[in-house]
Every structure is written in structure tokens, then in C-alpha cells.
């Protein structure tokens, strides 16, 4: 899920190559950025012997992409996704781009995410490339998490600004917004959620489904879900057609058993992979597993709903190639792009034919039939009298447990002639 944009702690700017006038994207230091602003030329020397991960990333990103591996119906590229989309993919030839780009987080990750305030401009050339290669009936699906403003309990708007840019500037249409709810996500950010208790757990990613035209091909019959117990009872006993209090006129056709229900735009999938074949493979080979993998069910949902067998699916920020593995299994042609070679070396576990059944078992472990969602008021009485922080939580307040611990804390005297005891 990464590309040359994954270079951490650097700004991105266009650089004109003196040799042939090409525009390339490269890392520009703050000092160099000031020189650009002043109109001064900047020369960048490439270290032929990269010593740090960042330097190795830069060296890879300036090289032409190369085919890392081919499968029965797919191709993996090591290198710059923009170059792959420009040089290897024909215009209007792609049916689906499904990806999870690096999020615009405040804290830097090992895969080199981009600052939230720079995110939209960084993403724009990718959006332009996506628009060029997608068919008029194709779709762009972006899984993107939110971010918090540094030092305060308020949210960044970067992922909404990205959506607006893609639609208003590049001509995409918002087919529908989805929300991936991860029931297993830990309470975060801890300072606002578990310490000051002034925000709730951030457990949802936005998933934007976009298209070049208002009419991308799709079928919700491909992604049906089981009927609820209440609906099963209604189908068994029958339903009397009438006007509902909400104003909806429910006809007798509502009680027809179609085999399954239409799914909502909330996708409930945990991300609890801890002992999969992929992780065991990375551990055995001494490779770093990609730290931001999405569950296979997420791309599979959209590949099933939006593509047919033989269609072309692309993930430009492929990471460990989850999208490629799913597309291969569903007989879709696919392309994955990744800039960090170690992640692709680990991704080879996903295409090891000798362990295919084990990989499928790992995927299905997360595909349980449903999740219990409690009513919002199920535990309202537990802390009904908890006082609100009148300053909005600006200052930390001590809990009763913390106060008791501080009050009971005493200094134990040392034992005579010894080190003391605990």
C-alpha cells in the first residue's frame, strides 16, 4: 500500500530533469524547499550506497518499476505506482481500483505516511492517473482512516477534503460512502478516550466508492447478507401491508423471501490477524510484515460487487498484496504496485500454492456470520452521575482510583543492614 510518496519526514515537490525535461517526484528537504520558493536552482545528488531505510526507499523510487512476479492472472510491480499507471496501463482499461493508501497521520509510520495537511496535494497526481485508466463503468474504492489534530481532541478533515478534491477538481462521482467498522480496534487515541474520557473509541474507517460516471457497473445481489432473526420471523408469520409511522408504504412484496437481505453500507469486519500463514512466513524468513494490512474481506466485498471474472483490478498501494491474493482467487486480472521490496518478499506467502488451503482457512476465521451490536443505552445506568468536565477536558482530572493510590502511597523504610524489601 505504499509508493515513493511513502518517504517519511520530507516534503514532495516537482523537479525538472535537466537531461530530458521530464518532471519527477522526489523528496525535497525544508532547506531546498526554501530555495525553490526563492527561485534558486536545487541540485540533488543520489547516494549510490544507501545506508538508511529512507535512502533505500529513495533509491528504489527513482528507478523504473520492474516486474517482481507474475501469477496466473496477475502482475506485481516493485516501484513507483504513478510510473506503472502511466507506462504499463492503457487508458480506460481498468474496471476497479481498490486500495488503502497511506493515511494522513500525525505520527510517522514505518511505511512512510504523509502529513495530513499535505495529503490532498500529494494524492492529486494519483487521482488524475486513476481517472485516466478507469473505464467509464469502472470504480475507485479508497479505504481511508481519519486523523486527529495534534494536541487537541478534534478531528482532521483531510479525508473529507480528499473526497471533495476528487469530485470537484477531477470529476469523480461519489457513488456511495461506506464505513468499515472494526469491532476489535483498541480504544484510541488513548489520551482522549481512556485517560480524559472525553471522546469515544475511533473504530471506523471511511471507504469512498467513486466512479468516473454516475453509472458504474454494480450489483448488490453479489454481496447479500443473512436475514436477521426478526426478518426470518416476519417471513414465517407474514406481514400485513400498511403505511408505516415513518411514512413508508410497505407492500405485501416486502415479506417475499429472496434468500438473503441487502447489505447496508456498514461493513463489520475485525482485523485480528495474529497467527496467519502470512505472518508465520514473514517470521520464518526474517521479513517485516506490513503493519497496515486490511482484512481480505474488505477488497473481496467490492471486487465481488463491482467486477466480473476477467476484469482488471489494480491496487497501487499494495503492501502485502491482499488485493492481489483475493483477485487471483476470484479469477480477476490484477496489478499490484509496491515500493518496499521487503513487503513484496513477504507477500510471496500469499501466492504459495502449496499452502493455499491454509491461507483460505486464515481468511475464513474472520468471516463469522454476524456481530452483536448493543443498543446505545444498554449500559447508560453504569455511570449516569459521572460529572462532565466543565473545561471540556482541557485539564486532566484524577479518577477516584488514582486518588486512592496516591493517598495510600507511602515510603517503606529500609531494613537494617540490607537492601530493603518489596
Q: What are 62-68's contacts with CB under 8 Å, separation 24+?
A: 62/4, 62/24, 62/26, 65/337, 68/338, 68/341, 68/344
Backbone angles phi, psi at 293, to 5 degrees: -80, 135
Cα 354 to Cα 87, 210, 322, 347: the distances in Å are 34, 37, 18, 15
Q: Does any domain span residue 3?
A: no
Residue 381: pLDDT band (50, 70, 90) is confident
Greater model confidence, 188 or 324? 324
pLDDT for residue 396: 84
261, 281, 313: which is the final residue of a domain? 261
Nearest-CA neighbor of 116 among 167, 155, 71?
Answer: 155
Q: What is the pLDDT of residues 155-175, one digit of tens each?
A: 999 999 999 999 999 999 999
Question: Is 119 in the same domain as 195?
Answer: yes
Nearest-CA neighbor of 226 among 264, 190, 269?
Answer: 264
pLDDT for residue 420: 38
Assess contact for 207 and 180: CB atoms under 8 A.
Answer: yes
Question: Is 230 in the same domain as 90?
Answer: no
Question: Is 127 in the same domain as 240?
Answer: no
pLDDT for residue 45: 47
User: With the C-alpha atoms ordered 351, 356, 358, 360, is the resulting torsion angle positive or negative?
Assistant: positive
Q: Does any domain span residue 304?
A: yes
Q: What is the pLDDT of residues 82-96, one digit of tens each?
A: 999 999 999 999 999
For 398, other C-beta atoms within 10 Å of its C-beta total 10
Question: Is 72 in the same domain as 184?
Answer: yes
Percent pLDDT > 90 in the chain is: 47
Assess contact for 319 and 3: CB atoms under 8 A.
Answer: no
Q: Does any domain span residue 27?
A: no
Question: Is 305 in the same domain as 171?
Answer: yes
| pLDDT at residue 194 greater than cutoff 70 | yes
Q: Does any domain span residue 347?
A: yes
- Segment 258-262 shows an average pLDDT of 80
The interaxial angle of helices 297-306 and 322-329, nearest 10 deg, is 50
Question: Is 271 in the same domain as 245?
Answer: no
Question: Is 107 in the same domain as 136?
Answer: yes
Cα 276 to Cα 4, 128, 139, 182, 272: the distances in Å are 28, 36, 30, 18, 10
Question: Is 289 in the same domain as 353?
Answer: yes
Assess contact for 276 and 352: CB atoms under 8 A.
Answer: no
Give the SS3 label for residue 184. coil
Q: Concatenate the DSSP letters of all residues of 363-415 into one string.
A: HHTT--S------TTTTGGGGTTPPP-TTTTSS----HHHHHHHHH--PPPPP
| pLDDT at residue 17 greater than cutoff 90 | no
Q: Does any domain span residue 136?
A: yes
Lowest mean pLDDT among 147-156, 184-193, 353-362: 353-362
Output the CA angle 15-164-315, nearest 5 degrees. Answer: 65
Question: Is 102 in the same domain as 217?
Answer: yes
Q: What is the pLDDT of residues 308-326, one digit of tens each?
A: 999 999 999 999 999 999 9
Residue 116 sits in a domain whose CATH number is 3.40.50.150
Helices (H), 209-351: 229-237, 277-285, 297-306, 322-329, 341-347
Buried b / exposed e over 175-188, threshold 16 CB at 10 Å, is beebebebeeeeee
Q: What are 371-374's contacts with CB under 8 Å, separation 24+?
A: 371/183, 371/268, 373/268
| pLDDT at residue 55 greater than cutoff 90 | no
Greater model confidence, 292 or 263? 263
| pLDDT at residue 251 greater than cutoff 50 | yes
Q: Which three cell numbers stand for residue 392?
A: 471540556
Q: Does any domain span residue 24?
A: no
Range of the domain at 242: 226-261
Distance from C-alpha of 141 to C-alpha of 139, rounded to nearest angstrom: 6
pLDDT for residue 240: 61
Question: Is 152 in the same domain as 232?
Answer: no
Assess contact for 358 and 350: CB atoms under 8 A.
Answer: no
pTM of the model: 0.75
Question: Is 144 in the same domain as 245?
Answer: no
Q: In the chain, how many domains are there? A: 2
| pLDDT at residue 371 greater than cutoff 90 | no
Lowest mean pLDDT among 126-140, 217-231, 360-374: 360-374
Q: Does any domain span residue 278?
A: yes
- Segment 409-417 shows an average pLDDT of 45
Q: Which of 240-244, 293-297, 349-353, 376-380 has the highest mean pLDDT?
A: 293-297
335, 364, 393: which is the final residue of a domain? 364
Q: Does any domain span residue 422?
A: no
Catalytic residues, by residue number, are 100-101, 143
- Segment 226-241 shows an average pLDDT of 68
Buried b / exposed e over 115-132, threshold 16 CB at 10 Å, is bbeebbebbebbbebbbb
Question: Is 246 in the same domain as 295?
Answer: no
349, 364, 379: which is the final residue of a domain? 364
Percent pLDDT > 70 in the chain is: 65
Give the SS3 label for residue 22. coil
Amino acid at each position: 500500500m505504499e509508493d515513493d510518496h511513502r518517504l517519511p519526514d520530507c516534503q514532495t515537490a516537482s523537479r525538472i530533469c535537466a537531461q530530458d525535461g521530464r518532471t519527477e517526484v522526489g523528496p525535497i528537504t525544508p532547506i531546498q524547499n526554501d530555495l525553490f520558493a526563492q527561485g534558486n536552482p536545487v541540485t540533488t545528488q543520489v547516494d549510490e550506497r544507501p545506508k538508511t531505510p529512507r535512502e533505500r526507499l529513495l533509491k528504489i523510487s527513482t528507478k523504473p518499476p520492474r516486474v517482481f512476479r507474475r501469477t496466473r492472472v496477475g502482475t506485481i510491480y516493485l516501484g513507483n505506482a504513478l510510473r506503472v499507471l502511466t507506462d504499463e496501463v492503457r487508458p480506460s482499461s481498468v474496471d476497479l481500483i481498490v486500495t488503502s493508501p497511506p493515511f494522513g497521520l500525525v505520527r510517522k509510520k514505518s511505511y512512510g505516511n504523509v502529513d495530513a495537511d499535505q495529503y490532498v496535494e500529494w494524492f492529486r497526481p494519483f487521482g488524475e492517473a486513476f481517472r485516466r485508466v478507469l473505464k467509464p463503468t469502472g470504480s475507485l474504492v479508497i479505504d481511508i482512516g481519519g486523523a486527529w489534530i495534534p494536541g487537541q481532541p478534534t478531528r482532521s478533515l483531510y479525508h473529507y477534503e480528499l473526497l471533495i478534491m476528487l469530485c470537484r477538481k477531477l470529476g469523480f462521482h461519489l457513488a456511495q460512502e461506506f464505513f468499515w467498522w472494526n469491532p476489535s480496534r483498541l480504544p484510541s487515541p488513548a489520551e482522549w478516550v481512556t485517560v480524559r474520557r472525553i471522546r469515544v473509541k475511533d473504530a471506523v474507517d471511511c471507504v469512498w466508492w467513486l466512479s468516473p460516471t454516475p453509472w458504474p457497473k454494480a450489483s448488490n445481489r453479489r454481496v447479500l447478507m443473512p436475514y436477521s432473526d426478526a426478518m426470518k420471523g416476519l417471513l414465517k408469520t407474514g406481514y400485513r401491508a400498511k403505511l408505516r409511522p415513518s411514512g413508508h408504504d410497505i407492500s405485501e412484496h416486502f415479506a417475499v423471501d429472496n434468500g438473503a437481505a441487502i447489505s447496508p453500507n456498514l461493513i463489520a469486519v475485525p482485523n485480528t490477524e495474529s497467527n496467519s500463514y502470512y505472518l508465520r512466513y514473514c517470521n520464518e524468513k526474517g521479513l517485516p510484515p506490513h503493519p497496515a494490512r486490511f482484512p481480505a474481506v474488505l477488497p473481496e466485498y467490492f471486487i465481488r460487487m463491482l467486477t466480473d471474472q476477467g476484469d482488471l483490478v489494480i491496487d497501487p498501494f499494495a503492501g502485502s498484496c491482499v488485493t492481489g491474493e483475493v483477485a487471483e482467487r476470484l479469477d480477476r486480472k490484477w496489478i499490484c504496485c509496491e515500493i518496499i521490496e521487503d513487503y513484496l518478499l513477504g507477500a510471496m506467502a500469499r501466492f504459495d500454492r502449496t499452502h493455499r488451503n491454509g491461507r483460505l482457512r486464515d481468511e475464513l476465521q474472520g468471516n463469522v456470520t454476524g456481530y452483536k451490536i448493543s443498543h446505545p443505552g444498554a449500559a447508560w445506568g453504569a455511570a449516569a452521575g459521572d460529572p462532565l468536565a466543565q473545561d471540556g477536558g482541557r485539564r486532566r482530572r484524577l479518577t477516584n482510583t488514582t486518588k486512592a493510590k496516591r493517598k495510600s502511597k507511602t515510603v517503606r523504610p529500609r531494613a537494617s543492614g540490607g537492601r530493603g524489601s518489596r
